[in-house]
C-alpha cells in the first residue's frame, strides 16, 4: 500500500479507518454499530425503534459516507433479527425440514425480485423494504 499511496497516504487511511469502514470490511464495521445502537435502544419502545429503522431504509440515504449510508439501509434488518429471533429460528427450522417448499419460495422471490428490478420499482420505499425481508425469509 505504501508504494501506491506513500507513507503519508497509509497514515491517512489508518486514521480514516476509525471513522469509516475500510474497503471490504464495511460489514464487520457496521455490525459493531448495529450492536451498539440496538443495545442502547433497549429501553425504547420496540415498535417505535423498528419504524425509525424502516423509515431510514426507505429513505435511501446517500451521504457519501459508507458507514452512514449502509447503517441507514440495513439496520432495520439487524433490528428485526433482534426483535424476532425466535420466529426466525423457527422459520429456518421449517425450511430445513421442507427444502422443496423452501426452494419454491426462493424461486418465487427470485422471479418477483427480478421483475421488480426490471420494472424499476425495486427501489420504491415500501417495495425495497418488502424485497429486503422476502429474500432472507425464503
Same domain, 93 and 79: no
Same-domain pairing of 67 and 101: no
Residue span of the structural domain in which 115 resides:
85-138
Specify the number of domains making up the chain.
2
Of the candidates 83, 114, 130, which is a domain's last residue?
A: 83
Q: Please tell me whether residues 77 and 12 are part of one structural domain.
A: yes
Spans of the chain, pLDDT less than 70:
22-23, 138
Q: What is the reported pLDDT for 5?
A: 84
| Same structural domain, 35 and 96 | no
**CB of 107 closer than 8 Å to CB of 85:** no
Both 50 and 117 in one domain: the answer is no
Contacts 24+ apart (CB under 8 A), 41-48: 41/79, 46/83
Closest CA to 73 of 85, 61, 84: 61
Question: Does one domain contain both 48 and 98?
Answer: no
54 shares its domain with 91: no
Cα–Cα dist 76/39, whole Å: 14
Looking at the fold, whether 35 and 14 belong to one and the same domain comes out as yes
Rounded distance between C-alpha atoms, residue 98 and residue 105, angstroms: 11
Q: What is the pLDDT of residue 138?
A: 61
**Separation of alpha carbons 43 and 37, rounded Å:** 11
Q: Tell me what pLDDT residue 46 has.
A: 92
Q: For position 10, what pLDDT does the model report?
A: 86
User: What pLDDT is stored for residue 19 in this prediction?
Assistant: 72
Domain shared by 115 and 51, yes or no = no
47 in the same domain as 26: yes
Q: What string of DSSP letters covers 22-54?
A: -GGGHHHHHHHHHHHHHHHTTTS-HHHHHHHHH
pLDDT in tens, 27-65: 888 899 999 999 999 889 999 999 999 999 999 999 988
The reply to whether 60 and 113 lie within a common domain is no
Of 50, 48, 56, 58, give the one whose Cα is nearest residue 126: 58
Same domain for 131 and 70, yes or no, is no
Amino acid at each position: 500500500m505504501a508504494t501506491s499511496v506513500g507513507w503519508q497516504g497509509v497514515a491517512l487511511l489508518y486514521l480514516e479507518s476509525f471513522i469509516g469502514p475500510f474497503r471490504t470490511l464495511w460489514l464487520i464495521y457496521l455490525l459493531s454499530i448495529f450492536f451498539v445502537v440496538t443495545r442502547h435502544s433497549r429501553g425504547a419502545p420496540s415498535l417505535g425503534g423498528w419504524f425509525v429503522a424502516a423509515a431510514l431504509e426507505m429513505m435511501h440515504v446517500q451521504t457519501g459516507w459508507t458507514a452512514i449510508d449502509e447503517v441507514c439501509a440495513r439496520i432495520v434488518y439487524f433490528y428485526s433479527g433482534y426483535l424476532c429471533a425466535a420466529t426466525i429460528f423457527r422459520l429456518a427450522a421449517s425450511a430445513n425440514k421442507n427444502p422443496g417448499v423452501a426452494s419454491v419460495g426462493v424461486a418465487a422471490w427470485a422471479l418477483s425480485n427480478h421483475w421488480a428490478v426490471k420494472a424499476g420499482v425495486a427501489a420504491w420505499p415500501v417495495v425495497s423494504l418488502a424485497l429486503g425481508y422476502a429474500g432472507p425469509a425464503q
